[in-house]
Amino acid sequence: MTIDGDSEVRWLSISAAIASISVVGVAIGLGIPLLSVILEKEGHSAGMIGLNTAVAGVASIAAAPLATPIAARFGVVRTILFTILAGAFAFVGFYAAPRFWMWFPLRVVLHMSLTVLFILSEFWISVSAPKHRRGLVLGIYATVLSVGFAFGPWLFATIGSNGFKPFGVAFALIIMASLPVLAAWKESPEIHLSNTRRHFWRYLFLVPTATAAVLVFGAVETGGFALFPIYGSQIGYSEANAAMLLTAVGLGNVVLQIPIGMVSDRIRDRRIL
Of the candidates 168, 149, 159, which has an alpha carbon nearest to the alpha carbon of residue 24? Answer: 149
CA distance 180 to 260: 27
CA distance 40 to 202: 40
User: 5 vs 260, which has greater pLDDT?
Assistant: 260
User: 142 vs 106, which has greater pLDDT?
Assistant: 106
Contact indicator for 145, 26 with CB cutoff of 8 Å: no
Count of residues in the chain:
273
- Domain extent, residue 38, equals 11-264
Residues contacting 268, CB < 8 A, separation 6+? none
What local confidence, expressed as pLDDT, does residue 273 receive?
61
Residue 218 reports pLDDT greater than 80: no
Residues contacting 175, CB < 8 A, separation 6+? 84, 85, 88
**Angle of helix 103-128 relative to helix 67-74, nearest 10 degrees?**
70
Q: Tell me the torsion sign for CA atoms 108, 114, 115, 120.
A: positive
Contact indicator for 153, 33 with CB cutoff of 8 Å: yes
pLDDT-based confidence at residue 225 (cuts at 50, 70, 90): confident
Distances, alpha carbon 77 to alpha carbons 21, 32, 177, 182, 210, in Å? 13, 26, 12, 8, 28
| pLDDT average, residue stretch 202-231 | 73
DSSP-assigned states of every residue in 123-161 = HHHHHHS-GGGHHHHHHHHHHHHHHHHHHHHHHHHHH-S
CA distance 1 to 203: 12
SS3 of 5, please?
Answer: coil
Residue 79 sits in a domain whose CATH number is 1.20.1250.20
Of the candidates 10, 18, 30, which has an alpha carbon nearest to the alpha carbon of residue 229? Answer: 30
Where are the alpha helices (H) located in the chain, listed in sequence order? 11-41, 46-63, 67-74, 76-96, 103-128, 134-159, 165-176, 178-183, 196-206, 208-234, 239-254, 257-264
Residue 2 lies inside a defined structural domain of this protein: no
Residue 268 reports pLDDT greater than 70: no
Residue 1 lies inside a defined structural domain of this protein: no
Across 23-32, 148-157, 258-267, least confident range: 258-267
Distances, alpha carbon 31 to alpha carbons 21, 26, 37, 100, in Å? 15, 8, 10, 16
DSSP character at residue 223: H
Residue 161 lies inside a defined structural domain of this protein: yes
What local confidence, expressed as pLDDT, does residue 64 receive?
86
| pLDDT average, residue stretch 50-58 | 87
How many CA atoms does the CB half-sphere of 258 hold within 13 Å?
6
Task: Tell me the pLDDT tens digit for each residue of 2-37.
Answer: 444 455 667 788 888 888 888 888 888 888 889 988
Residue 174 lies inside a defined structural domain of this protein: yes
Domain count of the fold of the chain: 1
